[in-house]
Amino acid sequence: MADIRFFFRPEDVDHMGAKGIDLGTYDGVKRNALAVLAHTAPPNADMPPDPAGQWSANRSQTFRNWILNGYPVGTATQPGNGTTGTQPGTGTGTQPGSGTTTTPPDRLRKNVATLTAQEIQTLATAFSGLMAKEPSDPGSYFTLAGYHGLPQSWCMHHIDQFNPWHRVYLKTFEDALRSVPGCQDVTLPYWDISTPLPDALQQPPFDSYVLPQDPGATADPPEPGTYFPYTTSRFPLDTIAANLQQNGVLDDITTSLSQSRWGVYNVNGYQDFSIQAHDGGHVSVGPTMGDQNVSAYDPVFWFYHCNIDRLWLRWQNNVQGATLTGFTSTIDGDASWLTAPPSNALPPFSTTTGATIAYGISYDDEGPEVTVENPVGSIAAAHSFSIKSSAPVSVRVKDIDRLNIPGSFVVKLLAEGQPIAQRAFFQPNRPQNCANCRKQALVNIDFRIDQSELVDRTLSVQIDVVGHQDIGASFPLSQAGNPTINARLLLDGA
């Protein structure tokens, strides 16, 4: 992550990819490492074929050392931390994954709390314009919000395409806002959820939305009457703040930003903790935001998701993954969802996942660089490793069958019968009716807990269903697939 991935230029990756040789991912480079060394080692190298791409003796030796040391993954380096350079043949080389995008950003999104009165007014005009359109209008607020839940239910949750899909969705909505007269330059601001909900978002038209017709009537399968009449609602400000804390949302954001790898959802990496933070935030904000069927109708949805996208871009820049080549090098396992049809499709949009990595969007404050890490639960025996006394315990509630759980839910970790941590999972009220949910029926919830909170205590797990006090909040674990517990110390290793 610090050196080897930058030895392959975009043209090298593309050229060899066309021949069926993957040089863009860790698994691909590891699999082809011996052949790469043989073809690139000076003085008789025949790859890359152009003189500018020829490897120096130092670079070749670094690659050889990587092989001899068992192909360590290592940790990503921030831009400018000793690996950038201008000579492709040196040991430091030009980095295809540097923080710069392939095209200059054409939209700057700001913190909603910093907008001027005039900017708030223009944004309000844009929102009001979309809300005033007939529900049948393709550019109406009702239609656009309906992409995410009822009636269209396009959204891809808890899969690799999650962040790319929402990035396109935000831009599609932003384009619609710009179609309102006088709002041609408006951009979606973000709500930094580490701060209280700004006053502006508690005023019309951002405080609520009244659905003009039944979103379930035309759904497939139909769910008439459940959400009509319906007005979006939120929790009080102090409840939102307490929920964000209780659901560990800010902790999961911090953990996600410190990951060296994009990872695999339900397993590890940025993606796993980012999606978990996303779910917790939805459930924390209110009844509407906690219900996937209608969450996008609450105007706060757009500001909340703009912040999720800001954090993703912040992570991309931090690990030098803001270009397609650089981002691909952070992926564990199969990367076909990023570039290969039909896996890279983001319906109903024509944009593909790969096109979202450098998307022409920037933010006024992406935050400081974060020191990245690569803590693991298991490691090849050929590597050295350490267990620090301060290492948290990774507790996973594994293989929760969510299809029988009626809506979003909260998993609580109890010690001596009292909650010590909880995380939320965001889903429709009838997940069995959702094709994507059925494909991802078994899910995990991850905790990182200080050892002192767990050792020599009686621990247990409880699932609570959000908003279903009428049937009892606690959901039987036996009806959720009898999930298991996986607990282990995290190792420091490569």
Task: From 29, 71, 72, 75, select the one nearest 260 (Cα to Cα).
Answer: 75
| Among the listed residues 14, 83, 7, 19, the one whose alpha carbon sits nearest the alpha carbon of residue 45 | 7
* Nearest in space to 319 (alpha carbons), one of 78, 33, 28, 12: 78
437 found inside a domain: yes
* Same domain, residue pair 144 and 247: yes
Residue 423's CATH number:
2.60.40
Residues 340 and 395 grouped into a single domain: no
pLDDT per residue rounded down to tens, the chain (494 residues) = 989 999 999 999 999 999 999 999 999 999 999 999 999 999 999 999 999 999 999 999 999 999 998 898 888 877 765 444 333 333 333 444 433 444 567 899 999 999 999 999 999 999 999 999 999 999 999 999 999 999 999 978 999 999 999 999 999 999 999 999 999 999 999 999 999 999 999 999 999 999 999 999 999 889 899 999 999 999 999 999 999 999 999 999 999 999 999 988 888 899 999 999 999 999 999 999 999 999 999 999 999 999 999 999 999 999 999 999 999 999 988 899 998 999 999 999 999 999 999 999 999 987 777 888 877 777 778 777 888 888 889 999 999 999 999 999 999 999 999 999 999 999 999 999 998 999 999 999 999 999 999 999 999 999 999 876 554 578 999 999 999 999 999 887 65
Note down the domain range covering 182. 107-363
CB 318 within 8 A of CB 259: no
Read off the pTM: 0.92
Domain boundary among 68, 86, 117: 68
| Tokens describing residue 230 | 């319906």
Q: Is residue 13 part of a domain?
A: yes
Q: Is the dihedral angle over the CA atoms 16, 19, 24, 28 positive or is it negative?
A: negative
Query: In degrees to the nearest 10, what's the CA dihedral of 78, 81, 86, 92?
Result: -100
Q: Do 336 and 413 fall into the same domain?
A: no
DSSP per-residue codes, 426-474: ---S-GGG-HHHHHT-EEEEEEEE-GGGTTTS-EEEEEEETT-GGG-SE
- Strands 349-352 and 345-346, by their bridges, are antiparallel
In a domain, 355, yes or no: yes
Query: Is residue 180 within 8 Å of 326, Cβ to Cβ?
Result: no
Residue 104: what pLDDT? 62
User: 336 in a domain, yes or no?
Assistant: yes
Q: State the Cα–Cα distance between residues 202 and 110, nearest whole angstrom.
A: 18
Q: Which residues pair with 414 in a beta bridge?
A: 419, 460
Residue 70 burial by Cβ neighbours in a 10 Å radius (0-12, 13-18, 19+): middle
pLDDT at 370: 83
Beta strand 409-415 pairing with 418-425: antiparallel
In a domain, 290, yes or no: yes
CATH code, domain with 154: 1.10.1280.10
Question: Are 356 and 406 within one domain?
Answer: no
- Residue 371 resides in a domain: no
